[in-house]
Amino acid sequence: MDIFAEKTILTVSRLTALLRGVLEENFEQVWVQGEVSNLSAPSSGHLYFTLKDTGAQLRCVMFKGSARNLKFRPTDGMAMIARGHISVYDQRGEYQLICEYLEPAGVGALQLAFMQLKDRLALEGLFDEGHKRPMPAFPRRVGIITSATGAAIHDILNVLKRRFASLEILLYPVRVQGEGSALEIARAIDDMNRSGLVDVLIVGRGGGSLEDLWAFNEEVVARAVYRSKLPVISAVGHETDWTICDFAADLRAPTPSAAAELVIASSVDLRNQVDALNHRLRTVMETRLAAMAARIDALRRSLHDPSTMLGHLSQRVDDLTDRLETALENSAARSRAKFDTLQTELMHNNPAGTVQNLRQRISLLSMQAERLMVERLEQCKHSFGSSTARLDVLSPLQTLARGYAIAATGDGRVVTDAARLAQGDLLRLNLYRGRAVCRVEELESP
């Protein structure tokens, strides 16, 4: 339909559909490079972000099916190369890039995924030296987790047979590359730990590209190595190859052959060490025995006749007995003299005389106290009589007895001035014997 030939009115939905068709037909497969911004990863599993440069920006979406295959985690600010096709999101009327593939600009996706996982696991402590388990010095049985048909198992077996032919080997065959190989390796590590049949594990494979070795860079393998109770030797690839498994393992071997050399010492070396230790032990024992023999000879020469030693000891006992008896007699004499002295002093200081003197003094003091009390009572009686006579002279009762009276108002106030009274007031007269109530009939001025 030619929309420009005549006046054609389109709905928004129709026009958007036409534009989407044009874009999808002409931009079916494009590669775009830009910087990631506004990254969003909702629970649906899709990725939404914007690719931008200094002049423009492009909305992008990567659906869950494609995002699940990413080996790394995109972040804001990351320079990215995206492959996909252009389409239009009808609801917003915006064109966008439907991404099918992403890779970091300047560094491979696998290398970036390796660095991101390594940093994250390091922060969790999976590579801490304090978690590393020591290798057993003399393992009875060695477990090997690798491909049953690869070169790694043959190299390990050849080295172990040459170094320690009697060492028992338990192989757990797994795939070492391809889809699902990492889960097989992790499951093998867990199974070996549960079995309890081996003392140490060798996990690895021969050399290859980063993609070939990727199973040993998976998080599931690193966590299986970390939780292993058995010491783990990682032997992946060549000396220059490093994997996440190498960092998580208790010991890294540059090659599978080197892992076989690290797991146990050579029987020839062990025999030489045993011979050297045996020689050192024999020398030390001979030196020790010679020193003990010389010591015994010296003790034998210094040993005296027992009868003579017993005689000396008996004589010493006699001397000590005499000294003890003399010391006891002297001590008894001193004690007896001290007792006599104390007895004499006690007789002079007999408390009976002191008690008698005190009793006499108390009797004398009692008599003196009784006499003083009688005299004091007489003095008090005389003083009391004098005071009583003086009180009688000054007593108002004596004044009342001479015919005087005390006039008081009804509320008990004594009247001393006629001016304070009025005719008709009631007065209470206190006489020498009894009281009288009077009414004022007449007042006279003084």
Digit-coded pLDDT (tens) for 211-223: 778 888 888 999 9
Over range 318-337, report the average pLDDT.
88
Report pLDDT for 187: 94
pLDDT of residue 223: 92
Q: Which residue has the higher pLDDT, 303 or 428?
A: 428
DSSP 418: G
Name every residue whose Cβ is closer than 8 Å to that of residue 418 and which is 6 or more positions away in sequence. Answer: 443, 444, 445, 446
CA 417 distance to own-chain centroid: 101
Q: Which residues contact 423 (CB under 8 A, 6 or more apart)?
A: 440, 441, 442, 443
Residue 446 has a pLDDT of 65
CATH number of the domain at 12-106, please? 2.40.50.140
Would you state the structure tokens that stand for residue 322, as one six-digit string? 């005499």
Mean pLDDT estimate for the chain: 82
Separation of alpha carbons 138 and 312, rounded Å:
63
pLDDT of residue 317: 84
How many Å apart are CA 398 and CA 51, to the nearest integer?
136
Cα 289 to Cα 242: distance, rounded to the nearest angstrom: 55
Q: How many CA atoms lie within 13 A of 427 on its CB side?
A: 22
Report the share of the chain in percent with pLDDT over 70.
Answer: 93
Per-residue confidence (pLDDT) for residue 135, from 0 to 100? 85
CA distance 293 to 299: 10
Q: Measure the CA–CA gap between 205 and 153, rounded to whole angstroms.
A: 8
Angle between the 109-124 and 219-227 helix axes, to the nearest 10 degrees? 30
Q: Provide mean pLDDT across the span 121-147.
A: 87
**3.40.190.10, 3.10.450.50, 3.90.870.10, 3.40.50.10550: which CATH number matches 138-264?**
3.40.50.10550
At 114 the pLDDT is 78
Burial class (CB in 10 A: 0-12, 13-18, 19+), 58: middle
Looking at residue 26, its pLDDT comes to 72
CB burial of residue 85 (10 Å; 0-12, 13-18, 19+)? middle
Nearest alpha carbon to residue 107 among 68, 84, 81: 81
Q: Where are the domains of the chain?
A: 12-106, 138-264, 273-299, 354-394, 400-439
Q: What is the 3-state secondary structure (H, E, C) of 126-154?
A: CCCHHHCCCCCCCCCEEEEEECCCCHHHH
Question: Phi then psi for 405, rounded to 5 degrees?
Answer: -140, 160
Q: What is the pLDDT of residues 240-261, one digit of tens each?
A: 778 889 898 998 888 888 888 8
More confidently predicted of 413 and 49: 49
pLDDT of residue 227: 93
Q: Do domains 12-106 and 138-264 have the same CATH topology?
A: no
* Residue 157 and residue 142 in contact, taking contact as beta carbons nearer than 8 Å: no
User: Which residues does residue 146 pair with via DSSP β-bridges, in sequence order?
Assistant: 173
Question: Is residue 4 scored above 60 in pLDDT?
Answer: no
> Kindly report the CA angle at 338 between 332 and 342, in degrees rounded to 5?
145
Q: Quickly list H helices, 76-173.
A: 109-124, 151-163
* Paired strand residues for 61: 48, 98
Tokens standing for residue 294: 């010389």
Note the helical H segments in 214-305: 219-227, 244-248, 256-263, 267-302
pLDDT in the model for residue 163:
75
Exposure letters 128-150 (e unless 16+ CB within 10 A, then b): eeeeeeebeeebeebbbbbbeeb
pLDDT number for residue 161:
82
What is the pTM (predicted TM-score) of this model? Answer: 0.44
Q: Between the CA of residue 3 and those of 6, 17, 22, what are the distances in Å?
A: 7, 14, 13
Question: Please, are residues 398 and 392 in contact by the beta-carbon 8 Å criterion?
Answer: yes
